[in-house]
Structure 1
Amino acid sequence: MMRVSEGTHVRLGSTWDGRGTNFALFSAHAEKVELCLFDSKGRREIERIALPEHTENIWHCYLNDVAPGQLYGYRVYGPYDPQHGHRFNPHKLLLDPYAKKISGRLVWSDAHFAYRAGSPREDLSFDRRDNARAMPKATVIDETFNWGRREPRPNATWEETIIYEAHVKGLTKTRMDIAPELRGTYGALAAPAMIDHLRRLGVTTIELLPVHGFVDDRHLVERKLSNYWGYNSLSFFAPEQRYAKGAALDEFRMTVARLHDAGFEIMLDVVYNHTAEGNHLGPTLSFRGIDNASYYWLMPDDPRYYDDFTGTGNSLNLTHPRVLQMVMDSLRYWVEVCHIDGFRFDLASTLARGAHGFDRNSAFFNAIRQDPVLANVKLVAEPWDVGPGGYQVGGFPSQWSEWNDRYRSTMRRYWAGEGNLIGDVSRRMTGSSDLFNHDDRAPRAGVNHVTVHDGFTLADLFSYNEKHNEANGEDNRDGSNDNLSNNCGHEGPTDDPAILSLRRQLRKNQLACLLLAQGIPLLLAGDEVGNSQSGNNNAYCQDNEIGWIDWSDLGDRENDMTDFVGHLTAIRRRFAQIRSRQWVTAKGINGSYSVLWLTPEGNEMTEADWNFPEGRFLSYVLGPVESHEQALYVVLNAAPDPIEFRIPNLEEYKTWSIVLHTTDDDVDGVPRHPNTTMQAPPRSVIAFAGQR
Structure 2
Amino acid sequence: MTRQIADRLLPGKPFPLGAHWDGLGVNFAVFSAHASRIELCLFSDNGRKELVRLPLPECTDEIWHGYLPNAALGTLYGYRAHGPYDPGHGHRFNPHKLLLDPYARQLSGPVRWSDALFGYRLQSARADLTPDRRDSAPTMPKAVVVDESFHWGDDRPPAVPWPATVIYEAHLRGLSMLRDDLLPNLRGSFAALCDPPFIDHLVRLGVTTIELLPVHAILQDRFLLERGLRNYWGYNTLSYFAPEPAYLGTGQLQECKVAMRRLHAAGIEVILDVVYNHTCEGNELGPTVSWRGLDNASYYRLVPGDERHYINDTGCGNTLNLSHPRVLQMVLDSLRYWVQCYHVDGFRFDLGSTLGREGNGFDAGSGFFDALMQDPVLSRVKLISEPWDLGPGGYQLGNHPPGFAEWNDKFRDVSRRFWRGDPGHRGEMAARLAASADLFDRRHRRPWASINFITAHDGFTLADLVSYSTKHNEANGEDNRDGTDDNASANWSPDGSVEGPTDDPEILLRRSRVAQALMSTLLLAQGTPMLTAGDEWGRSQAGNNNAYCQDNELSWLDWKQAQAPGAQPMQQMVRRLLALRRKLHALTGDRFAHGREAPAPGIADIAWFDTDGRPPTPEEWADPDIRTLALRRAAAPPQPERPVLTSPGEPTPGDPRAVQVTLLLLNAGDSDATFQLPEPALPWSLLFDSSRPQASDGELAGAQVNDTQVVAAHSLVLLAAQAPAPPENAA
TM-score when scaled to structure 2?
0.92
Shift of 1:176: 4.2
* CA contact 1:529–1:551 (8 Å) conserved in 2: no
The code of the aligned residue for 1:656 comes to W
2:708 aligned residue: 677
* CA contact 2:107–2:245 (8 Å) conserved in 1: yes
The code of the aligned residue for 2:459 comes to G
Shift of 1:587: 5.3
2:672 aligned residue: 642
2:618 aligned residue: 607
Shift of 1:550: 2.5
Q: After the TM superposition, which of the residue ranges 216-225 and 173-182 deviates more from structure 2? A: 173-182
From 628, 648, 661, the counterpart of 1:631: 661
Report 1:306-321 matches (<5 A).
306-321=310-325
From 519, 540, 543, the counterpart of 1:511: 519
1:187 aligned residue: 191
From 276, 280, 283, the counterpart of 1:276: 280
Give structure 1 stretches of 5+ with no counterpart: none
Shift of 1:10: 1.7
From 23, 31, 37, the counterpart of 1:26: 31
**CA deviations over 1:597-625 (Å, ceiling 9, x no partner):** 11212223322332234111001211123
* CA contact 2:187–2:249 (8 Å) conserved in 1: no
Shift of 1:126: 1.3
1:571 aligned residue: 580
* CA contact 2:385–2:405 (8 Å) conserved in 1: yes
CA distance in 1, matches of 2:560, 2:154: 38
Instruction: Work out whether 1:166 is the aligned partner of 2:170.
Output: yes
Instruction: Work out whether 1:583 is the aligned partner of 2:613.
Output: no
CA distance in 1, matches of 2:514, 2:318: 40
Report 1:403-442 matches (<5 A).
403-442=407-446
Q: After the TM superposition, which of the residue ranges 221-230 and 584-593 deviates more from structure 2? A: 584-593
From 385, 389, 394, the counterpart of 1:385: 389
Report 1:326-341 matches (<5 A).
326-341=330-345
2:728 aligned residue: none
CA distance in 2, matches of 1:332, 1:691: 46
Instruction: Work out whether 1:620 is the aligned partner of 2:631.
Output: yes
Q: Flag the 1:246–1:551 CA change in 2: closer, same or farther, 3 A.
A: closer
Say how many residue pairs are matched: 689
Q: After the TM superposition, which of the residue ranges 595-604 and 89-98 deviates more from structure 2? A: 595-604
CA distance in 1, matches of 2:485, 2:206: 33
Match of 2:394, SS state, is coil
The code of the aligned residue for 1:562 comes to Q
* CA contact 1:600–1:619 (8 Å) conserved in 2: yes
1:131 aligned residue: 136
Shift of 1:4: 2.1
**CA deviations over 1:453-495 (Å, ceiling 9, x no partner):** 0000001101111111111111111111111111112211111
1:146 aligned residue: 151
CA distance in 2, matches of 1:592, 1:685: 22
CA distance in 1, matches of 2:360, 2:197: 50
Q: After the TM superposition, which of the residue ranges 406-415 and 625-634 deviates more from structure 2? A: 625-634
CA distance in 1, matches of 2:166, 2:285: 42
Shift of 1:588: 6.0
1:479 aligned residue: 483
CA distance in 2, matches of 1:176, 1:204: 26
2:213 aligned residue: 209
Report 1:98-113 matches (<5 A).
98-113=103-118
1:362 aligned residue: 366
Q: Flag the 1:641–1:566 CA change in 2: closer, same or farther, 3 A.
A: same
Instruction: Work out whether 1:50 is the aligned partner of 2:59.
Output: no
CA distance in 1, matches of 2:444, 2:406: 15
2:464 aligned residue: 460
* CA contact 1:6–1:61 (8 Å) conserved in 2: yes
Match of 2:721, SS state, is strand
The code of the aligned residue for 1:453 comes to H
Shift of 1:177: 4.7
CA distance in 1, matches of 2:516, 2:22: 55
Match of 2:338, SS state, is helix
The code of the aligned residue for 2:117 comes to H
1:554 aligned residue: 562
Match of 1:48, SS state, is strand
CA distance in 2, matches of 1:97, 1:249: 18
* CA contact 2:589–2:635 (8 Å) conserved in 1: no
CA distance in 2, matches of 1:576, 1:672: 24
Instruction: Work out whether 1:4 is the aligned partner of 2:34.
Output: no
Q: Flag the 1:107–1:180 CA change in 2: closer, same or farther, 3 A.
A: closer
Shift of 1:413: 0.6
* CA contact 1:22–1:60 (8 Å) conserved in 2: yes
CA distance in 1, matches of 2:139, 2:542: 36
CA distance in 2, matches of 1:467, 1:86: 42
* CA contact 1:319–1:354 (8 Å) conserved in 2: yes
The code of the aligned residue for 2:278 comes to H
2:549 aligned residue: 541
From 299, 305, 324, the counterpart of 1:301: 305
CA distance in 2, matches of 1:361, 1:182: 43
Shift of 1:679: 1.7
CA distance in 1, matches of 2:359, 2:416: 37
1:66 aligned residue: 71
**CA deviations over 1:328-348 (Å, ceiling 9, x no partner):** 000000000000000000001
CA distance in 2, matches of 1:198, 1:155: 17
Give structure 2 stretches of 5+ with no counterpart: 638-655, 724-731
* CA contact 1:15–1:23 (8 Å) conserved in 2: yes
* CA contact 2:452–2:530 (8 Å) conserved in 1: yes
* CA contact 1:657–1:671 (8 Å) conserved in 2: no
CA distance in 2, matches of 1:49, 1:525: 48
CA distance in 1, matches of 2:597, 2:524: 24
**CA deviations over 1:668-688 (Å, ceiling 9, x no partner):** 343777752332111101001
* CA contact 1:648–1:674 (8 Å) conserved in 2: no
* CA contact 1:172–1:184 (8 Å) conserved in 2: yes
Shift of 1:629: 4.2
Q: After the TM superposition, which of the residue ranges 571-580 and 70-79 deviates more from structure 2? A: 571-580
Shift of 1:248: 4.2
CA distance in 2, matches of 1:326, 1:574: 43
* CA contact 1:646–1:674 (8 Å) conserved in 2: no
Q: After the TM superposition, which of the residue ranges 172-181 and 444-453 deviates more from structure 2? A: 172-181
* CA contact 1:649–1:674 (8 Å) conserved in 2: no
